[in-house]
Structure 1
Amino acid sequence: MNSTEDRDRHVETLLSDVLEVYGYDFTGYSKASLKRRVVRLYELDRFVSFAEFRYKIRTEPAYFKRFMEQITINVTEMFRDPEFYTTLRNEILPHLGTYPFIRIWIAGCSTGEEAYSVAIFLKELNLLHKSLIYATDINATVLETAAQALIPMSKMKLYTENYIAAGGTEQFSDYYSANYSLGKLNDELKRNIIFSTHNLVSDHSFNEFQLILCRNVLIYFDRPLQSKVFELFDNSLEKFGYLALGTKESLEFSTISKNFERNTTRKIWRKTQ
């Protein structure tokens, strides 16, 4: 790929291949970031030509799996943004506790840290037994990791600090058992979580939820795709349900903003229409 123009054309062709062969639509993703990751993989695996790169992705599902691992962004941690989790614990979840059953969707769950964080606070509020968490991602590989409920012990100090800052009331170490370099989260936390692939670009609503979390995912989408995903969330939330976004994401200026009112402290909106 000699010029920027060639590079852009090749990447667009490759993304068309991915949509045609595997059904994954990346057309609404932030172009600059996506192209950078595709080119990085091309160079990392030292292909002789872009044609060879395309052929391998089209014809070898195992390599396509690697492709998906490399171009989807999977940055997550337990109790990330503790102030958000404080609001979730003290305001949102207790309100949802008045429902006979709680359905929560975590969209773009990556390796599952957010799902397990929510499960821990549901347990501490004695709500986990009547809750179901749907944790979805476009990347099947990270979902396999999430379902294993294994966390590197090197991360536990940070996660413990986040948990305490978020208002956790128990010993965080009680939620996992250490085994050399890995911590295994308690089976009780996983029992009420369903990990499943879901493509925010092309898949439809699959349930009616009281709470949807999609934090730090939409920043990688262009404005038209963000609008499409917001409509999906609007259709998936029941009235008076909550939508939680990342610190750099907003419902304001979207076509569905009139249906929501914003929580004054954090990036949480409540559906009112």
Structure 2
Amino acid sequence: MEVLLEISQDELADFIDMSNNLYGLDFSGYAQESLRRRLLRLMKLKECDTFGAFKYFMVNQKLTDDELLNEITVNTTEMFRDFEVFKFLREELFGFLETYPRINIWHAGCSTGEEPLSLAILLKEHGLLKRSVQYCTDINSEVLNHAKKGIYGLKEMKEYSINYIKSGGAFSLSDYYVANYGRVKMNKELGQNMIFTKHSLVNGSSFNQMHMIMCRNVFIYLTTEQQNKVLRLFMDSLAPRGYLILGAKESAVFSTVFNELETINGKLKIYRKKR
């Protein structure tokens, strides 16, 4: 009979302390229930039916920091996800961004790179790719390495192609990759102006003069306190009149920095920093 695993509040706090002390990973800002679910999943993978048994793995360094990050953090993404956002970028925001001689964009929590590539395609189609720099950051070095390679499954491209067309794409998504043996390699040109850096949103420093920051579907895993801390980081990083784009289930409305923002599209969670 399968043992039903449970994690007490004290055990969860113990896990957070051990992760920080042994691995240098700070999960204190993660939403408690989300963190508890991910920890239970990892315990089951390691066939640990008690938290005490799992502590053995941590104390004896039986887990790598990347393995711990991969199981605790969520790295789901796709190209042109929420196509309405990319359609809005095409139709409403690029006219403003093209006024800059150099366009700085920060993808905070870029995961495996599908979103930066989606934006690179849009930038290319509007003649802005060569004067744009995309800073792609994530706390997980393994997913960053995946993003750098630009190699994805061919099966997923069918769904991505639909999203691309819905976002206003004028060509075929297949024009931007080479397919071989069930995998695709994205065109090298798309990644030439991407800079990949390991960075913690909770403890990391700001980036200066960003004209747009995309941080989508990261906030839902953070506590309210940490969300406010990260939003402060974004405000310090945005240039005046710079855009902030959050995920569909996220919002800056009730944050401590909302008075510094104006809402451009509430449904799509697109905001702009006031002068």
Same fold by TM-score greater than 0.5: yes
TM-score by length of 2: 0.93
Per-residue Cα deviation, 1:136-181 (whole angstroms, up to 9, x for no partner):
1111111111111011001011000000000111221110000111
For the structure 1 residues 186 and 24, does the alpha-carbon distance in structure 2 shift closer, same or farther, using more than 3 Å as the test?
same
Aligned to 1:131: 132
**Do structure 1's residue 267 and structure 2's residue 256 form an aligned pair?**
no
Equivalents in 1 of 2:23, 2:208: separation in Å? 24
What is the RMSD of the two structures over their aligned residues, measured on CA atoms?
A: 1.8
1:58 deviates by 4.6
Q: Which residue of 1 aligns with 2:21?
A: 20
CA distance in 2, matches of 1:86, 1:195: 25
Residue by residue over 1:200-236, the C-alpha shift from the partner in whole angstroms, topping out at 9 and shown as x without a partner, is 1111103320000001110111111111111010000
Q: AA paired with 1:241?
A: G
Q: Match for residue 44 of structure 1?
A: 45
Query: Residues 117, 58 of structure 1: CA spacing in aligned structure 2 closer, same or farther, 3 A cutoff?
Result: farther
SS at match of 1:263: strand
Question: Structure 1 residues 13 and 126 mapped into 2: Cα distance closer, same or farther (>3 Å)?
Answer: same
Contact 1:58–1:64 (CA under 8 A) maintained in structure 2: no
Q: For residues 61 and 234 of structure 1, what CA distance do their matches in structure 2 show?
A: 39
The structure-2 alpha-carbon separation of the partners of 1:99 and 1:105, relative to structure 1 and needing over 3 Å to count, comes to: same
- Conserved 8 A contact 1:56-1:63: no
| Cα displacement (A) at 1:249 | 1.0
What is the alpha-carbon distance in structure 2 between the residues aligned to residue 58 and residue 136 of structure 1?
29
Task: Tell me the equivalent position of 1:195.
Answer: 196
Task: Summarize the alignment of residues 159-174 of structure 1 with structure 2, pairs less than 5 Å apart.
Answer: 159-174=160-175
Shift of 1:91: 1.5
**TM-score, normalization by structure 1:** 0.94
The 5 A counterparts of 1:221-232 are 221-232=222-233
What is the one-letter code of the residue matched to 2:193?
N
Q: Is the 8 A contact 1:57 1:64 kept in 2?
A: no
Matched, 1:111 2:112: yes
Residues 94 and 125 in structure 1, CA contact (< 8 A), matched pair in contact too: no
Query: Over residues 8-60 of structure 1, what are the superposed CA-to-partner deviations in whole Å (9 max), with x where a residue is unaligned?
Result: 32222121111123332111111011111112111221137534533433553
**Which residue number in structure 2 is paired with residue 66 of structure 1?**
67
Q: Which residue is 1:212 aligned to?
A: 213
CA contact (8 A) 1:57 1:67 kept: no
Structure 1 CA distance, aligned partners of 2:70 and 2:138?
12
For 2:252, the equivalent position in structure 1 comes to: 251
C-alpha distance in 2, partners of 1:215/1:261?
18
SS of the residue corresponding to residue 254 of structure 2 reads coil
Q: How big is the shift at 1:82?
A: 0.7
Corresponding residue pairs, total: 272
